[in-house]
A and B are shown apart, each in its own frame.
Chain A
Amino acid sequence: MSPSGAEVIRKIRSEVEEVDPSEVKAALNGNGNSGVVLLDVRESEEWDAGHIPGAKHVARGYLESRVEGAIGSDRSQRVVIYCASGQRSALAANTLKNLLGYENVASMNGGITLWKDRGYEVEKPVVLTPQQRDRYSRHLLVPEIGLEGQTKLLNAKVLLLGAGGLGSPTALYLAAAGVGTLGVVDDDEVDLSNLQRQVIHTTDRIGTPKVDSAEIAINGINPDVNVVKYKTRLDASNIMEIIEGYDVIVDGVDNFPTRYLLNDATVRLDIPVVSASILGFDGQLSVFAPHDGPCYRCLYPVPPPAELAPSCGANGVLGVLPGTMGLLQATEVVKLIIGAGEPLIGRLLLYEALGATFTELKVRRDPECPICSIDPSEIDESQLGVFPDYEAFCAAAG
């Protein structure tokens, strides 16, 4: 007589290694990369309702055909599978082990139900409203973005330093793209002379604080965006407080002291900076991702003297140029958030508008860089937020 379904499941469960959620949690918490791959084999609706952070998902019905794509083909890696209660995961573990040859497979006992009962963290993916599906439909159609990428954008926090020439187009397009939180730092008010290039502001908002004007424009395009306003100048006393918690920072500031200050603080907090600068018809662009690539000090160890560092206010700038460079920045921000493509890390892009030329230069990490050659974990807590007097430093260098 053939065994019943319940008997088969009992037999398989007795043969499969089962682990308690507490062991799984400990393994995942061990360090950033514990070497354990967590695999959720429930149906898509169950996954969407909440899953364990960091888990990969393949519904059990697609296990044989899709598991390698999700967890890779290394047969010796440790794989822990879970479902709702521990039954489907045991069957999936059996398949992975006996049919697909994964040698080190276990099933999590009690599934995500027991995991939740223990009070462990569950990640609930963003579910788009019908309106959002419509608004972001052109993103959802792009394979590199899709629902996963759009979710990342909606969860992302981006800080814009300056709502001026570079910050204007960047803010508008990041808002349109659905970046969930946009912080804007600017202590200035809208002036008539800004409007030749600062397209986030309008004639009827002359005299309005730029952060307020930017908020009106951002929410006019996309009310989903949470705008956090900082009507202040970034300095050593407030930088750590302002930038902490942001995923990416967009640097469009107009002076060297702030650029160096920002660099040091972001290296310490491990926040990538998409940096651009402009003058006349020329622009520069790079991404400084702490420890993955060079930092601003690796590229420019010393600021130039004042006569070689004119500002746009003193020397002028083509009104379109901050648009070009700001949108290249916005593109790099989106790439960093969704994890697509090759970000401009370790490369400096020069754009010369009159000649319509792009030049790419390599930027190397300086092994003796005073900031990014130090392991941030070796920096004492009390050193965080403590900076030398940058104004004096830059003035002295000049």
Chain B
Amino acid sequence: MAKIKIPPVLRPSVGGEKEVQADGADVGAVLRALAEQHPATQQQLFGADGSLNRYVNVYLNDEDVRVLDGLDTTVGESDTLVILPAMAGGGA
């Protein structure tokens, strides 16, 4: 099972957890498994056509999946996925 690090804005959708686990052979499968466990994340991660929303960055360990094979990137048991939407807070 891969680890998924959840950004602050998505934590309310996964019961407040900072890290969850989900099964899947590739990035797409892991994220779809996450969305099944926590349906509130579905709309935040995926567009209506099932593709990853452009404003959500996903990293396999420290590498952006956009420069790997995107949602088809193979995920191993000990891998960590980082979900990262942009943040703009400046402490105003």
Q: What residues of B have a CB within 8 angstroms of the CB of A212 in the complex? A: none
Q: What residues of B have a CB within 8 angstroms of the CB of A282 in the complex? A: 7-8, 87
Q: Is A149 interfacial (CB 8 A cutoff)?
A: no
Q: Which residues of chain A from 299 to 314 have any CB-CB distance to chain B below 8 Å in the complex? A: 299-305, 308-313
Q: What residues of A have a CB within 8 angstroms of the CB of B56 in the complex? A: 304
Q: Is B48 interfacial (CB 8 A cutoff)?
A: no
A197–B88 touching, CB < 8 Å:
no
Q: What residues of B have a CB within 8 angstroms of the CB of A281 in the complex? A: 8
Q: Is B64 interfacial (CB 8 A cutoff)?
A: yes
B55–A304 touching, CB < 8 Å:
yes
A162–B44 touching, CB < 8 Å:
no
Q: In whole angstroms, how far apart are the Cα atoms of A300 and B8 in the complex?
A: 17
Which residue of B is nearest A259, CB measured? B88
Among B23-31, B69-77, B78-86, the one that faces the other chain is B78-86
Among A58-66, A68-76, A358-366, A379-387, the one that faces the other chain is A358-366
Q: Is A253 interfacial (CB 8 A cutoff)?
A: yes
A162–B90 touching, CB < 8 Å:
yes
Contact count band on B? 20 to 34
How many of chain A's residues have a CB under 8 angstroms from any CB in B?
A: 53
Residue-wise, chain B 52-67 has the 8 Å CB interface mask toward A (1 for contact) of 0011110100111011
Contact of A254 among B7, B84, B89 (CB under 8 A): B89
Q: Is B38 interfacial (CB 8 A cutoff)?
A: no
**Which residues of B are interface residues toward A (Cβ below 8 A)?**
5, 7-10, 18, 44, 54-57, 59, 62-64, 66-67, 82, 84-92
**Which residues of A are interface residues toward B (Cβ below 8 A)?**
162, 164-167, 188, 197-198, 251-256, 259, 276-282, 284, 299-305, 308-313, 315, 317, 321-322, 326, 348, 350, 352, 354-355, 359-364, 397
9 contacts between A and B (CB under 8 A): A164-B91, A252-B90, A304-B55, A304-B85, A305-B55, A359-B82, A361-B63, A364-B64, A364-B67
